[in-house]
């Protein structure tokens, strides 16, 4: 009973954070001219990491033979623990994901968002698959982001997630690995790198519940230099 109460409080805190933080924040900025040239890589990398985690995030929809297709909308919020040219939280625009149950164990998915910053547009998209086992699933994702003028991001992500129940409350526990590359374009300065590459291993925790037929999932991706909270609303169809 104690565990159940603690989990319910945790869910409330996550929902409170997800609902109120966007109201006091602004969208993530891809204007790299705001970064300090002397610490360019260190200040820009959190933006690349946030975008890679957003696109590579693993979503587990409750698909079945009777409901083989689902749509999810996610709100990603990131907090960097190192110096950055933009302040916390790093609020990514909503991302839309579709999933289709191809076989009993294999799900194909695709995700995208598109938004404008001033007179320029940012396009993000990705695709991948989930393979379900008896106690969890494996997720593989590939994707990219075409930022305005200065930034192009490519990433590959793989995650292994287990699903457990405590007092009938589902919990997700897992580990993920993300490899990313950010290409820096149209900035003519010899002190600025042409690309920023890296990889990271991160921990995954989460929970899910249903409200009026809509599944709500909270998931965190935790790295030593970055924390991302994802709130996902999903519905299943035919």
Question: How do the domains of the chain map onto residue ranges?
Answer: 2-237
Distance CA 116, CA 122 (A): 6
Per the listing, tokens 């169809």 go with 237
What average pLDDT does the segment 80-88 reach?
93
Strand partners, 70: 99, 236
**Mean of per-residue pLDDT scores for the chain:** 86
- Give the CB-side neighbour count of residue 71, counting CA atoms within 13 A: 5
Decide if 127 contacts 110 (C-beta within 8 A).
yes
Residue 64 has pLDDT above 60, yes or no: yes
Query: Per residue in 185-220, pLDDT tens?
Result: 877 788 889 999 999 999 999 999 888 888 999 999
Whether the predicted model's global pTM rises above the 0.85 cut: yes
């Amino acid at each position: 009973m104690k565990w159940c109460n603690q989990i319910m409080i945790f869910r409330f805190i996550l929902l409170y954070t997800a609902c109120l933080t966007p109201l006091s924040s602004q969208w993530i900025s891809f204007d790299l001219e705001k970064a300090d040239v002397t610490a360019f890589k260190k200040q820009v990398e959190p933006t690349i990491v946030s975008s890679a985690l957003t696109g590579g995030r693993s979503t587990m929809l409750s698909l079945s033979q009777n409901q083989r297709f689902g749509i999810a909308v996610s709100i990603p919020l990131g907090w960097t623990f190192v110096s950055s040219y933009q302040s916390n939280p790093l609020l990514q625009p909503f991302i839309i994901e579709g999933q289709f149950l191809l076989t009993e164990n294999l799900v194909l998915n695709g995700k995208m968002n598109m938004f404008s910053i001033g007179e320029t547009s940012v396009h993000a998209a990705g695709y991948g698959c989930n393979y379900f086992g008896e106690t969890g699933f494996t997720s593989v994702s590939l994707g990219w982001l075409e930022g305005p003028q200065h930034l192009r991001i490519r990433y590959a992500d793989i995650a292994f997630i287990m699903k457990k129940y405590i007092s009938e409350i589902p919990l997700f526990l897992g580990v993920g690995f993300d490899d990313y590359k950010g290409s820096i374009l149209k900035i003519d300065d010899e002190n600025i790198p042409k690309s920023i590459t890296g990889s990271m291993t991160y921990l995954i925790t989460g929970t899910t519940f249903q409200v009026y037929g809509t599944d709500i999932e909270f998931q965190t991706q935790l790295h030593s230099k970055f924390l991302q909270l994802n709130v996902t609303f999903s519905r299943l169809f035919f």
